Structure 1
Amino acid sequence: MRFFRKLRKDVLTNNKIGKYLAYAIGEIMLVVIGILIALAVNNFSNQKQKEQQTKRTAQNVLRQIALDTTEISNVFKNWGVVQEQLEIVLSKSNVTKSTTPCDYCPNLILNASLPNLGDDVIRLIEADDPVDSELGFRLREISKRYKGLVQAVLIFDKITTDALTENLKYLQNNKVWFANLISNERCDDECQEYFNSSSDFKNRSAYMDIVLYKAYSRELQDFKEKIRKEMVLLTELLEE
């Protein structure tokens, strides 16, 4: 005890407490600075890893967009053929009787090729949660466009499916030749008369033309043009 009392007395006497406090504060500051540097290095490393992940996501998004635009192009090719057939049917100014078989006519109101477009791009982007950068901003803009597309696809697919179902039910309940047409793909004289001369068939064809081959087609074409511009911008950012 006497030793410690003497030591304290010597420190106070020789005014060494100020030097001790300065040394202690210096040690604390060095520790704090070391911690801050370590945190900064760790944050920098995490940021770099996040940026690399966002680039990988952007590359995956580009690949998926390419698949989706190819799908839309293939659907447009199919629709182009159907639209030519519809023009023949709808261009008739009057309902006239014809004995010429119309092999494609039943498909105009009973069948439709719909695009297989999902939310893969949206899920890719949301799973990554892109960094706050120009690349991340571009990805979020693409996600918004895809969300609009998915909503449009759901609406138009339902409208089209409902129309096809209603057409099937109408023919099933009102035409004796329906079973033979569906099961054996045979269209007798009464069946041919309906598809060649019926105003009902023409009206149903016009509805499919408006909903599927005009409205839906415009929606997909608009999306395709905008998403191509996004692809160009995204590619340029990845090449920087």
Structure 2
Amino acid sequence: MKIFNKQRFQLLKGRPFQKYLTYALGEIILVIIGILIALGISNWNQEKQLENANKDLQKKVLIQLDKDINAVGNFQKVIDSLHQTYLKVLGRDYDSDKVKDESMLSTVLFEVNTLSLDKHLNNLIDNAELDDSEASQQLIDLNSTYKLHLKKCDDIESIIFEKMKNNLAEIEKTQTWYLELITDFTCRNECINYLLKDEGHKARIASLRFLYVSGYGSLIGDFLDDLEMAKTALEAVVSE
């Protein structure tokens, strides 16, 4: 038995076994290389898909950014028109081309003008898988810019709404013509004289003007500037 085992061992040490071992090792190496190549191709495909998805996202963001810049710019004109209306009520010089007399009463007493801007751009970026490109960093910064400015707008709108509500409450409490105004939306001479001449009312209107022009208007101006700069920066990296 020992002689047989010794002979078998000698055979295993021979050239046929060495060839088999070399072949087996070669097969293993080829399998490993194949796996690595497959993984590399898969990773490349995933990176390419992510890159294409991000390029598509960048195009959508730029389109939405254009719409939002127009919306903010148009609201800036609304603020300017409000400014002129308040100046007229306060007996100051104003641009008559920007004041609508038929809607002045409603504007001063009842309407809270706000920026109509949805969060579509925020949703686009929040729900996207971003790569590590410079363009993606621009999108992250832009997303933060939107959220910061929209929060500031919400805050000033709440203050303006409360101020207008308090002004109307004061009229309700002190003026007999309030019933006719709020029921029939009719403002006769006594009502008009109060709105244009009463010093207490004019002081409250002056506060509203300050909130709209110096407060809201400044925020809108800063928002517009930041959006335009963000658009320029994003276009620069997207076009590279």
Which TM-score tier does this pair reach, normalised by the shorter chain? 0.7 to 0.9
Q: How many residues align?
A: 231
For the pair 1:194 / 2:194, whether they are aligned, the reply is: yes
8 Å contact 1:109–1:164 — kept in the other structure? Answer: yes
SS in structure 1 at match of 2:166 = helix
Change in 2 beyond 3 A, CA 1:178/1:41: same
Return the alpha-carbon distance in structure 2 between the equivalents of residues 214 and 192 of structure 1: 27
- Structure 1 residues 135-182: Cα deviation after superposition (integer angstroms, max 9, x where no partner): 111111111101102211221121122222222222223222123223
- Structure 1 residues 32-91: Cα deviation after superposition (integer angstroms, max 9, x where no partner): 111111111111111111111111111111122222222222222222122122223445
TM-score (norm 2): 0.85
Change in 2 beyond 3 A, CA 1:133/1:13: closer
8 Å contact 1:109–1:204 — kept in the other structure? Answer: no
The residue aligned with 1:76 is 76
TM-score (norm 1): 0.85
The residue aligned with 2:35 is 35
Return the alpha-carbon distance in structure 2 between the equivalents of residues 154 and 11 of structure 1: 87
RMSD: 2.7
The percentage of aligned residue pairs carrying the same residue is 27
Return the alpha-carbon distance in structure 2 between the equivalents of residues 27 and 235 of structure 1: 51
Deviation at 1:237? Answer: 2.6
Amino acid at match of 2:209: D
- Structure 1 residues 101-131: Cα deviation after superposition (integer angstroms, max 9, x where no partner): 9972562243232111232211101111211
Amino acid at match of 1:46: Q
8 Å contact 2:160–2:208 — kept in the other structure? Answer: yes
Amino acid at match of 2:133: S
- Structure 1 segments unaligned to the other structure (5+ residues): 93-100
Amino acid at match of 2:44: F
- Structure 1 residues 179-228: Cα deviation after superposition (integer angstroms, max 9, x where no partner): 32233332122212211211111111111112122211111111111111
Change in 2 beyond 3 A, CA 1:7/1:83: farther
8 Å contact 2:135–2:234 — kept in the other structure? Answer: yes
The residue aligned with 1:122 is 122
The residue aligned with 2:97 is none
Change in 2 beyond 3 A, CA 1:83/1:13: closer
Return the alpha-carbon distance in structure 1 between the equivalents of residues 103 and 63 of structure 2: 39
Q: In terms of mean alpha carbon deviation, does 21-30 or 132-141 score higher?
A: 21-30
For the pair 1:231 / 2:231, whether they are aligned, the reply is: yes
Q: How does 1:35-114 map to 2 (within 5 A)?
A: 35-90=35-90, 104-105=104-105, 107-114=107-114
Amino acid at match of 2:145: R
Q: How does 1:188-227 map to 2 (within 5 A)?
A: 188-227=188-227
8 Å contact 1:110–1:167 — kept in the other structure? Answer: no
SS in structure 2 at match of 1:210 = helix
8 Å contact 2:76–2:221 — kept in the other structure? Answer: no
The residue aligned with 1:97 is none
Return the alpha-carbon distance in structure 1 between the equivalents of residues 44 and 216 of structure 2: 47
